[in-house]
Amino acid sequence: MKKILVTGANGQLGKCIQDAAAEFSDFEFVFVSKQELDIENPELLKKYFSENNFTHCINTAAYTNVEKAESDAEKAFAVNAEAVKNLASICTKHNVVLLHVSTDYVFDGKKSKAYSENDVTNPINVYGASKLKGERYIQEICSAFFILRTSWLYSQYGHNFLKTILKYAEAGTPLTITTEQTGTPTNANNLAEALLQMIAQDSKEYGVYHYSNGGETTWYGFAEAILLQTKKLEEANLAKTNHYSTFAARPEYSVLDNTKAKNVLNLKQPNWQESLQTLTRKMMISNNFERE
């Protein structure tokens, strides 16, 4: 039986994996939060891995506050790079396959067509640089690993763009959203399913992959689709801008080319609009809007 450790279990992707795990009854899952297993602590990792016989580790633990990372670079690198180095080392020692989630922000956004895994990385903010360093540690240390770069993650859980737009719309707060950046909103539930499918098919095609939903849009286009699909567009005060100031630089174009993941890993990647519609319908039917 496959025994899978999932770190960062209280984050939005960790919670989506917990939901998806119900469809994989032949797997044994161990979900741990930062409080239960801090991957920044190598001694804790050694003890935990010695006491368990894991076959796979899905690392969803990450420092994801892109803006705050600019003034908190030490912490961002501690979590996204040095802690990942710890995890890569312990997985290698115990022959555990590591599945690690990375980001489109490892690219500078200067291209005008989708980024492939072979394109040169050149992050333009601290968050992207810290995630790239984590990727490099894995590639240097591990032989059995999958790095999945994804983009613009959202879900019914945690803090994300979908939840923020709905919260502001309900409160009547004006929404001025940028058209400067183009990418692909990705439903974290789809990513969770993809990660578990990779384990189920027992692929040995290790390496770096891109996984996002299909298509592309701007943040404004994403906001408009959210409000349209939740029937809040008419009542919302939505406006667009092409000059939205942020502390952290953002890539102007960070669409990911998913061809390799489709062809090599046979992963399904629904169009972003279809996937958003599926989730918003489910949330509206069940009133499943996690409040924080």
DSSP string of 147-169, one letter each residue: EEEE-SEE-SSSS-HHHHHHHHH
Angstrom distance (rounded) from CA 276 to CA 187: 7
Are 252 and 243 in contact by the 8 Å Cβ rule? The answer is no
Model pLDDT, residue 65: 93
Least confident of 51-60, 102-111, 148-157, 282-291: 282-291
Are 208 and 260 in contact by the 8 Å Cβ rule? The answer is no
| pLDDT, mean over the chain | 94
User: What is the average per-residue pLDDT within 107-117?
Assistant: 96
Confidence of residue 287 (pLDDT cuts 50, 70, 90): low
Catalytic residue check, 127? yes
pLDDT tens for 231-265 read 988 888 899 887 767 788 899 999 999 999 999 99
Are 58 and 195 in contact by the 8 Å Cβ rule? The answer is yes
Angstrom distance (rounded) from CA 48 to CA 39: 10
* Segments of the chain assigned E as strands: 3-7, 28-32, 56-59, 97-103, 145-150, 153-154, 175-178, 182-183, 186-187, 207-210, 217-218, 238-241
Model pLDDT, residue 235: 84
Tokens of 37: 């297993």
> Of 164, 172, 199, 175, which Cα lies nearest the Cα of 28?
199
DSSP 105: G
CA-based max dimension of the chain: 56
User: What is the average per-residue pLDDT within 89-105?
Assistant: 98
Tokens of 10: 């209280």
Angstrom distance (rounded) from CA 47 to CA 201: 29
pLDDT above 70 (res 291): no
List the catalytic residue out of 48, 105, 127, 137.
127
Are 239 and 176 in contact by the 8 Å Cβ rule? The answer is yes
Model pLDDT, residue 284: 83
Model pLDDT, residue 288: 55
pLDDT above 50 (res 292): no
Model pLDDT, residue 246: 79
User: What is the average per-residue pLDDT within 113-138?
Assistant: 97
pLDDT tens for 161-193 read 999 999 999 888 999 999 999 999 999 999 999
CA distances from 43 to 23, 142, 189 (A): 33, 19, 32
Q: Are strands 175-178 and 182-183 parallel, antiparallel or unpaired?
A: unpaired
User: What is the average per-residue pLDDT within 207-228?
Assistant: 97
Residue with tokens 């183009």: 182
Are 48 and 88 in contact by the 8 Å Cβ rule? The answer is no
3-state helix, strand, coil in the chain (%, to 5): 40, 20, 40
User: What is the average per-residue pLDDT within 80-106?
Assistant: 98
Angstrom distance (rounded) from CA 221 to CA 130: 28
